[in-house]
Structure 1
Amino acid sequence: MTVRALVACFLLALALPQVRAADVPGGVAALQQRLVALDADPLAAGVAPLERLQARQAVETLAAARARQREGALQVAQWRVETAEIATRTELARRELDRLERERAELLLEASRREAARARQEAERLRIQAQIQAEEAARLREAAEAESMARQEAESVLEGVSAREAARLRAARQRAEELKRQEEELLRSLEAGDTPEPR
C-alpha cells in the first residue's frame, strides 16, 4: 500500500466517529460548527472549495427542511460535511506528502552533490598521486640511464686501458723473446769461438 493510500485511510478513520454527530437535536448547529472549524484552519484556506460549498448548501437545506424531509436532509448534510472534511484533510495530507517528497528529493540531490564533490576530490588526489609517482619513476629512469651511461663509459675506459696494457705486454714479451734469442745466439757463437757481428 502506498503512502498516499495510508494517509487517506487514516484520515477516513478519523472522520468516521463524526458520522453520527448530527443525529442529536441541534444537528444543524453541530454541522455548522464543523464547517466553521474547517474555515478557521489557516492551513485549509482555499482547500476543497467545491466540497465545502456543497456541504454549506446541504446544511442550509437541512435547516430549511420540514419535519418529514429532515431525516433525508440530515443524512445528505452529514455526508456533505464529512466529504468536505475528508477532502480537506486528504488535500492537506497530499500537500504535506508533496512537501516531504520535495524535501527528500532536495536532500538526495544535496547528498548526490556532496558525493560527486567527494568523488572529484578523490579523483584529484589520485591524479596528483599518479603524477608524483610518474615523476618519481621518470627521475629513477633518468638516474638509471645516467648510471648505465657512466658504467658504459667506465667500461670503455677500462677496455682502452686493457688494450694498451695488453699491447705493452705483447711488446715486452716480444722484446724478451728477442733478447733471449740474441743471448742464445751469443752463447752459441762463444761456444763455437766465433765473434758475432754487432747488430
Structure 2
Amino acid sequence: MTGRNASASLLAGLALALLLAWPPARAAEDPDVARLQQRLVAIDADMAFAGMAPLERLQARQAVDALAAARARQRASALQVAEWRVETAEIAARTDAARRAIDRLDRERTDLLLEASRREAARARQEAERLRIQTQIQAEESARLRETAEAESMARQEAETVLQGVSSREAARLRASRERAAELKRQEEELLRSLEPDAATQPR
C-alpha cells in the first residue's frame, strides 16, 4: 500500500470513528446538523466515493461537529462554514471519482491503442511476408520461363544446324548427280560423234 493510500485509509477510519461518536441527541435536536450529517452519510455510503476526498470529508465532519457545539451567536457562521465544508467534501469526492474514471478510461484507451498498434504491426508483417512469398514465386517463375526460353532457343539453333547440314549434304549430292549426268551426256555425245564416220562409210 502506498503512503497516499495509507493516509486515505487512516483519515477514513478517523472519519468513521467521529461518525460513530456523533452525539445522536444533539444531532436530533438540530435539524441543520442532522441534514448535513445525512449528506455526509450519503457520501460514505456511496461505493463510488470510497477513499475519495478523505481530508475534505474529515474537515466537513469537524465543521458539523463545530456547528453542533456552537453557541447561539456563533451558530450562523458555524452553519455557513459547515455548509461550505460539506459541499466541498461532496464536490471533492465527485471530482476524485471523475478523475479516477478519467484515469481508468485513459488506461483503457492506451491499452486499446497498444493492442491496435500490435494488430496493425502483425498485419503489416503478414502483408510483408505475403509480398515476399509472392515476389519469390514470381522470381522463380521468371527464372523457369527464362530457362525454358533458353532451352527452346538452343533446340532451334541445333535444329537449324542439323537442317543446314542436311541441306549442304543434299546440295552436294545434287551437284554430284548433275555433274555425273552432264558427264554421261558428254560421253554419250562423244560416242555418237565417234560413230558417225562409220555410218557414212557403209555402202548404200
TM range, normalised to the smaller chain? 0.7 to 0.9
Partner Cα distance (1:90, 1:143) in 2: 78
Please name the residue that 2:57 is paired with: 52
Match of 2:36 among 25, 31, 35: 31
Secondary structure (helix, strand or coil) at the match of 1:46 reads coil
Tell me which of the two structures has the higher relative contact order, counting C-alpha pairs closer than 8 angstroms and 6 or more residues apart.
1
Distance in 1 (alpha carbons) for counterparts of 2:171 and 2:183: 18
By how many angstroms is 1:118 displaced?
A: 2.5
Q: Which runs of 5+ in 1 are unaligned?
A: 1-24, 195-199
2:163 maps to 1:162: no
Give the partner amino acid of 1:51: E
Counterpart of 1:170, as a letter, is R
1:135 corresponds to: 140
Aligned residues: 170
Q: Where does the alignment leave 5 or more consecutive residues of structure 2 unmatched?
A: 1-29, 200-204
Match for residue 153 of structure 2 among 148, 152, 160:
148
Query: How far 1:50 moved relative to its partner?
Result: 2.3
Which residue does the alignment assign to 1:125?
A: 130
- Give me the TM-score of the superposition, normalised by structure 2: 0.74
**Partner AA of 1:134 in structure 2:** A
1:80 to 81, 85, 90: 85
Deviations 1:56-103 (A, max 9, x none): 222122122222221222111111110111011111011011111211
Separation in structure 1 between the aligned mates of residue 139 and residue 86 of structure 2, nearest angstrom: 78
| Higher fraction of helix | 2
Q: Quick one: which amino acid aligns to residue 97 of structure 1? A: I
Provide, for residues 114-154 of structure 1, a one-character-per-residue CA deviation record: whole Å limited to 9, x for no partner: 23222322332332233223222222222222122111111
* Residue in 1 that maps onto 2:15: none
Q: What's the TM-score once normalised by structure 1's chain length? A: 0.75
Shift in Å, 1:171: 1.4
For residues 193 and 107 of structure 2, the distance between their equivalents in structure 1, rounded to whole angstroms, comes to 125
The whole-number CA distance in structure 1 between the counterparts of 2:107 and 2:83 is 36
Secondary structure of the corresponding residue to residue 47 of structure 1: coil
The AA in structure 2 aligned to 1:141 is R
**Counterpart-to-counterpart distance in 2, 1:155 and 1:132:** 34
Bigger drift between 41-50 and 67-76 goes to 41-50
Superposition deviation, residue 192 in structure 1: 4.7
Q: How does 1:182-193 map to 2 (within 5 A)?
A: 182-192=187-197
Given the alignment, which residue of 99, 104, 112 partners 1:107? 112
Q: Distance in 1 between matches of 2:69 and 2:98?
A: 34
Q: Distance in 2 between matches of 1:193 and 1:72?
A: 177
In the TM superposition, residue 55 of structure 1 has moved relative to its aligned partner by 1.4
For 1:20, the equivalent position in structure 2 comes to: none
Q: What letter is aligned with 2:147?
A: E
Identity %: 80
CA RMSD of aligned residues (A): 2.1
Counterpart of 1:5?
A: none
